[in-house]
Amino acid sequence: DTGVSQDPRHKITKRGQNVTFRCDPISEHNRLYWYRQTLGQGPEFLTYFQNEAQLEKSRLLSDRFSAERPKGSFSTLEIQRTEQGDSAMYLCASSQNTAGGPGGTQYFGPGTRLTVL
Amino acid sequence: AQSVSQHNHHVILSEAASLELGCNYSYGGTVNLFWYVQYPGQHLQLLLKYFSGDPLVKGIKGFEAEFIKSKFSFNLRKPSVQWSDTAEYFCAVKGSGNTGKLIFGQGTTLQVKP
């Protein structure tokens, strides 16, 4: 399977702890996206990268959240000092974007479900 | 503010019934439009997309959607649903420029009774 993969699939943590999630995109894709989805809602955009550059961040991405894509391949999303309101499904997607193009189709991974106790 | 509104939160149909799911968006500028589907226990996957050209787009599994610019709408249709279409459906929009940000609606849960 050469789709988007995410690790771990489930994470339970206590309030105040730090957590880190990993996303491996489809190998030839240059863009990588993070979204958050809560129950009964559609995914909400958090941030995205083109290669290793972080091009856009949502205001949802507070200073407790940080994302990296150091070599332009996999990405990590870290949440520091977790709060119960951070409980959600964290989705990663990737796409292949060509210069000046509208941006390719985003392919989604299975998500990491975070529960903060 | 940019937003997507899906009119129906939960739809229940019998097999062979016709389906139409509403989607309206608010976005200042030219848009690209998408419908994604999430089958139980599976990832989000693309059903169809509109970038430009013919406003009636066809997707996988017999789905189609029509972009009506004057109404800011992109409704999803299928003439005859099957039990296997039971899933959650999400409409999404992004600006047609180089931005990668997708804005999703809240989703519609479709339940098809056999």
Residue B96 has pLDDT above 80, yes or no: no
pLDDT of residue A101: 59
Residue A110: the pLDDT is: 96
Residue bearing the bigger pLDDT, A1 or A9:
A9
What is the predicted pLDDT for the residue at B100? 81
- Which among A35, A43, A105 is the nearest to B46, CB-wise? A105
Q: What average pLDDT does chain B have?
A: 93
- Does B41 contact A at CB distance below 8 Å? no
pLDDT band at A28 (very low <50, low <70, confident <90, very high): confident
Distance CA B59, CA B74 (A): 13
Residue A25 contacts B where some CB pair is shorter than 8 Å: no
Q: With 70 as the cut, is the pLDDT of residue B79 above it? A: yes
Strand pairing class (B3-6; A5-7): unpaired
**How do residues A52-79 score in pLDDT, each as one tens digit?**
999 999 987 889 999 999 988 999 999 9
Band the pLDDT of A103: cuts 50, 70, 90. low
Average of pLDDT values for B14-39? Answer: 94
Cα B56 to Cα B66: distance, rounded to the nearest angstrom: 4
A31 touches chain B (CB under 8 A): yes
